[in-house]
Structure 1
Amino acid sequence: MRINWNWALLEKPVGNLCKRYARIVAQYPAPFIILPILLTAALATGLTKLTIFRNVDYLFAPLDARWKYEEEVFHNLWARTDDQFYPGKDVLRRKGLHMIVTAADDGSVLRLEQAQQFMDLLAWVENSTFVYNGTEYGYHDICLIFQNQCYVNSHANFLARIFINGDQDEFKVTYPQFRSTFQSDAIDLTMTLGGVETDPKTEVIKTAKAWLISYQLKQQTPLLNALSNTFETTMGQRIWRKETPTSLLNVYFFHSNTFEEELDEGNKRITPRFILTFIVVISFSIFGTITLKRKGSVVVIDWVTSKPYLAWSGVMATLLAIISAVGLGLHLGILFIDMVTVMPFLIISIGIDDMFLILAAWRSTDREAPVIDRIETAMQHAGVSVTMTSATDALSFFIGAMAPLPA
């Protein structure tokens, strides 16, 4: 006896369920139009709570990452406050502005004019002011204190003055460690100068390609943290606009909010493209559902078989779903991150795909049958595919949500 195996166990029950649901919708369409719009309007109020979360350390590291525990050990045992800052031996990731300075002509930064402009740059940073909540602040209000004064890159200051004053023959600055007769401890210059060329015999510095300077900032209180953020952003914008007094030097910067700012820039670049994509998708969906026919020698639109309103409603339904989902998530306190901005592209693609499945099933029905029967038959065939694609997509998102990586 031959046994016929049927592995499509869900096809018939899901198809019948979609068939019964489609008949109810076809007989009583008003509630299924009005209620989703009202529900979307209610959930859309969650958009008023929209705040984009951009903490890179939290988003792009596993929740149980070992480095978080190890960092906490260092934080608890050493330098727990801003008052315990010690340059060169600091183990915490603090707020800070870091700059690499090179010569505009790719030459040595230790030449007289370049060294003088480097000193002007240091003074420019240390004397810069910014405004926060209507009050003017400066670097000295948020700088970390070392030996009862603001940390001012003393090694870089010291070296630049030597070359400005022409005292390099007297001091004979060596690299990577400089042993001065004025200090008992050797000075490590590897974190101050880069691209260094030395005399092979004496290790005395001849030229250097770059300076590295850092301005680490206070962050112990919410106000100090906000002030440091404002200082970093303001100085970064000024450097980007080339407001530095350095015509002979190139200044490159990095600060503790650089990653977050780049994520913000990426989000700003995506938003206009999303609007354009949405317009293109609507246009494609509408034109893709239009059927042409020849009437004599003229090609006209067959409005009987064309379904542009179905395409438009399919896109609108997808848009309502996106607004509702985001609004509900914000009401529940779920963080909104830049990565979520790609979600509308995925959802719209899925929605348009399902819409075309339904349209194809509709066109395969008997044209002479009543409308309700045609809707019922179309959804019985297309509903299975729509349900399966939606279920697998939801499952993939759920698996992603279970991952220990918050982003």
Structure 2
Amino acid sequence: MEFTSICETAMELSDLMTSISFDCLIHRIFFQWGLLAYRFRLALFISPILFTIFLSIGFIFIKQQTTIDPQYVFSPISAPWRYERDVLSQHWPLNEQEFWPGKSYDYNGYIDIIAAGRNYRDKGRPNMLLASHLNELDRINQYIIYNLTVPVIHNGKRYEVGYTDLCMSYDWKCYLNDHITMLMPKQKWADFRGQFAELANDIITNEVKVTYPIGWRGTEPIYFGALIGSPHLTDEEGHFDYVRAVRLTYNVREEKVGNISYLWRKKVASYLSDVLEFGMYHNESLPEGLQQVADSLTPKFTVTFTILFTLCGLSCVVLLNHNGFFAPDWVRSKPSIALAGLFCPMLAIISAFGSILWCGCLYNAIVNVSPFIVFCIGVDDMFIMSAAWHRTNPDLTVARRLAETLAEAAVAISITSITDMLSFGIGCITTLPSVQMFCLYTFAGTAFTYLYQLTFFTAVMAYAGDWESRGLHVVTFKPAIDPNDADTLFKRLFMVGSAPRKENLQRSDRIVPARKTPIIQVTSPKGVTKAPPLSSKNNSISIMERINEAFVRLESRMDHADHVCLLTSFI
């Protein structure tokens, strides 16, 4: 019984030693990748740059794949209003040649102008029914209708296109904001002299009624509730003597001349008056406002990049203490790592946007926020890997130091990147297009950041390690001056650095295996035969040896110390 318990204990220890935990497996994989990355550092440095240039071709599709429709971007795909709008559009379709205001629910080519007198501190807004203000409003309306044009080049000829060329009409007549004339005194409506003066006056008095909220022009109702603002009523019939604001509306076609109509509306929005103040709204007001907010992020992105570069650069500076005088160590300091730490997420952002646009996905200004998140993730990974590098033994070879750096930082950067990708990946399956687009672009940016951290950034670390091992200045790439040889303050501050490690110090006997396998010796009593060796263990060792031999063949140029390290990682 005692022997049986000893054998069971030995088998449990054997199974424990041969088992590989997930954490240990990740460390080993990244350790081996560090050795390979050092050998192929040139390819890993160039490939991400070329790959990013290739994917950036997708930016040529950004204009045609940009959507600025807030109704599509900010409402769920399965929202009930989409079905309801389709029903309304089906029963009340838009006919640009038989247009009647308020009849259709599906027209977008419009611009509304709210005109009001300039505000006075003591008196407030003046009465828009004053002759001076109505005359100015009529002048502006006439100018917009007949004089405000945009140039169009067609078949090599230049044309001036105005409102009367673009307007939606009824019986070939445009809507010219005739309510301005109705608000004027009756003497301004027409010339009442002559034999028809009395008849015309009777028609105006009996057939035209300027009342709020509904007025009449013969049998045609005029809804003044949508045309004037804040009226002061004088009787129960709805007559008024004060109006704070007047609305002008211009409806233009969208089907075949939508691009020209858009240019015309933009030109109207830039028109001003010295007497009146305007508040303008058109169907692109909300999309353009959102785009302006997104465009305002561009200078902030530059400021963010500058601050991050300064912070990363300072964090990569190593101070050298020579007889109580502290100065930057221009051998162990690594500003190249700081620059690569910012350049890496920038490559990832370009690759992500280019690849997604190349696949035909839509773009909206809301995704301009994602680069800030990608930069944060990339800079965080840079700090982790830089700190892991400085914790390695400088007496080891560069390949070994790089392998240990990746092995130590593996879990941190992998868990961070994978959880971020998982979070944004789940967001891609939501029904809200704005969330879908934002999560898709951020997911791709995070994935490319993780990929480029293991390739481009690792290659830069390999080169920086080579410069450090050779004692080269990080800026001039020439041998740094020994602190004892610095005879001026300038040399002490900007030229000194640590001495390079001697090659004879980088020996394999300095490399201690990460862990040793305990040896358990079990002696069997007389008459008891030894149990046969566990075939599963032998098989697992042979498989590991085969994998090891494959890596050794790939790493044939590395020194013996790195091979010993790779061998001991499988023991």
Q: State the TM-score, normalized to the length of structure 1.
A: 0.88
Quote how far apart the aligned CAs of 1:346 are.
Answer: 1.3
Once the two structures are superposed, the pairs formed by residues 211-360 of structure 1 within 5 Å of their partners are 211-221=246-256, 224-237=257-270, 239=271, 242=272, 246-360=273-387
Name the counterpart of 2:10: none
SS in 2 for 1:227: helix
Name the larger-Rg structure.
Answer: 2
Quote how far apart the aligned CAs of 1:146 are.
Answer: 2.4
Amino acid at match of 1:188: Y
Distance 1:272 1:382 in 2: 33
CA contact (8 A) 1:132 1:230 kept: no
Instruction: Kindly indicate whether residue 159 of structure 2 is the aligned counterpart of residue 140 of structure 1.
Output: no
Distance 2:361 2:352 in 1: 11
Name the counterpart of 1:205: 240
Name the counterpart of 1:22: 34
Once the two structures are superposed, the pairs formed by residues 142-157 of structure 1 within 5 Å of their partners are 142-157=166-181
Quote how far apart the aligned CAs of 1:22 are.
Answer: 1.5
Distance 1:75 1:376 in 2: 64
Name the counterpart of 2:138: 119
Cα deviations across residues 259-305 of structure 1 (Å, max 9, x unaligned)? 23223333432223323322322222111110223323532112344
Distance 2:428 2:140 in 1: 47
Quote how far apart the aligned CAs of 1:80 are.
Answer: 3.4
Give the counterpart of 1:94 among 108, 132, 136. Answer: 108
Mark the CA change 1:165 to 1:137 in structure 2 (over 3 Å): closer, same or farther.
closer
Quote how far apart the aligned CAs of 1:382 are.
Answer: 0.9
Distance 2:172 2:56 in 1: 53
CA contact (8 A) 2:92 2:103 kept: no
Distance 2:314 2:302 in 1: 18
* Greater shift in the superposed pair: 385-394 or 323-332: 323-332
SS in 2 for 1:110: coil
Mark the CA change 1:289 to 1:162 in structure 2 (over 3 Å): closer, same or farther.
farther
Give the counterpart of 1:381 among 391, 398, 408. Answer: 408
SS in 2 for 1:375: helix
Give the counterpart of 1:192 among 223, 227, 243. Answer: 227
Give the counterpart of 1:174 among 211, 214, 230. Answer: 211
Distance 1:252 1:323 in 2: 39
Give the counterpart of 2:89 among 75, 80, 98. Answer: 75
Distance 1:163 1:91 in 2: 38
Distance 1:267 1:202 in 2: 49
Distance 2:332 2:150 in 1: 65
Cα deviations across residues 357-389 of structure 1 (Å, max 9, x unaligned)? 111222222333332222222211211110111
Instruction: Kindly indicate whether residue 429 of structure 2 is the aligned counterpart of residue 402 of structure 1.
Output: yes
SS in 1 for 2:211: coil
CA contact (8 A) 1:110 1:163 kept: no
Q: How many aligned residue pairs are there?
A: 389
CA contact (8 A) 1:199 1:206 kept: yes
Mark the CA change 1:74 to 1:172 in structure 2 (over 3 Å): closer, same or farther.
closer
Gaps of 5+ in 1: 1-7
Name the counterpart of 1:129: 149
CA contact (8 A) 1:45 1:327 kept: yes
Quote how far apart the aligned CAs of 1:115 are.
Answer: 1.2
CA contact (8 A) 1:99 1:214 kept: yes
Cα deviations across residues 119-143 of structure 1 (Å, max 9, x unaligned)? 1121111112111234210100111
Name the counterpart of 2:79: 65
Cα deviations across residues 309-346 of structure 1 (Å, max 9, x unaligned)? 22222222222222222221222122222122222221
Quote how far apart the aligned CAs of 1:88 are.
Answer: 3.2
- Larger relative contact order (C-alpha < 8 A, sep ≥ 6)? 1
Distance 1:17 1:151 in 2: 73
* Greater shift in the superposed pair: 133-142 or 346-355: 133-142
State, as a whole percentage, how many aligned pairs show the same letter.
26
Mark the CA change 1:9 to 1:63 in structure 2 (over 3 Å): closer, same or farther.
farther
Quote how far apart the aligned CAs of 1:186 are.
Answer: 4.6
Distance 2:22 2:230 in 1: 68
Name the counterpart of 1:44: 56
CA contact (8 A) 1:130 1:138 kept: yes
SS in 2 for 1:213: strand
CA contact (8 A) 2:97 2:171 kept: no
Name the counterpart of 1:4: none
Mark the CA change 1:201 to 1:357 in structure 2 (over 3 Å): closer, same or farther.
same
Amino acid at match of 1:226: N
Distance 2:353 2:219 in 1: 62
Cα deviations across residues 234-278 of structure 1 (Å, max 9, x unaligned)? 1112x2xx2xxx432111111112223223333432223323322
Name the counterpart of 1:5: none
CA contact (8 A) 1:11 1:384 kept: yes
Name the counterpart of 1:3: none
Mark the CA change 1:139 to 1:356 in structure 2 (over 3 Å): closer, same or farther.
same
Distance 2:353 2:424 in 1: 14
Following superposition, which runs of at least 4 residues in structure 1 exceed 3 angstroms of deviation?
Answer: 160-167, 169-173, 184-187, 200-203
Distance 2:316 2:162 in 1: 62
Distance 1:163 1:368 in 2: 101
Quote how far apart the aligned CAs of 1:395 are.
Answer: 1.7
